[in-house]
Amino acid sequence: MSDTDLDIEFQEAVARVNAHKDPFPADTLLKLYAYYKKATNDYGKPRSKKPIINAFKTNALFQVKNISEDEAKRAYIELVNNYFLYRN
């Protein structure tokens, strides 16, 4: 898969998540958050008003610190595809 194809597939997965109206399980949300932040090179601090949420987000980011942007994109795509395949 070329970088362009990966980027397109990643953006489609992001759009699919953003269009989904039902709540995601918390563990899935944290993984999506961490993979997205890593894939987009967004290293800003979590900005929740609740410290416990920030702690969970920080932990999720820590868990993906050793993967590349492309690996994060692939993991995000796989997580989204599996979620929608097995959610019912």
Domains of the chain, CATH where assigned: 3-86 (1.20.80.10)
Numbers of helices and strands, H then E, in the chain: 4, 0
**Strand spans (E) along the chain:** none
Residue type, 52: I
The residues, any chain, with a CB within 8 Å of residue 28's CB and separated by 6 or more, are 79, 83
| pLDDT tens, position by position, 19-74 | 999 999 999 999 999 999 999 998 788 888 899 999 999 999 999 999 999 999 99
pLDDT value of position 24: 94
Task: Inform me whether the pLDDT recorded for 2 exceeds 80.
Answer: no
pLDDT value of position 48: 87
Residue type, 38: K
pLDDT value of position 41: 92
pLDDT value of position 68: 96
pLDDT value of position 31: 97
Rounded to whole angstroms, the Cα distance separating 60 from 20 reads 22
Rounded to whole angstroms, the Cα distance separating 61 from 37 reads 8
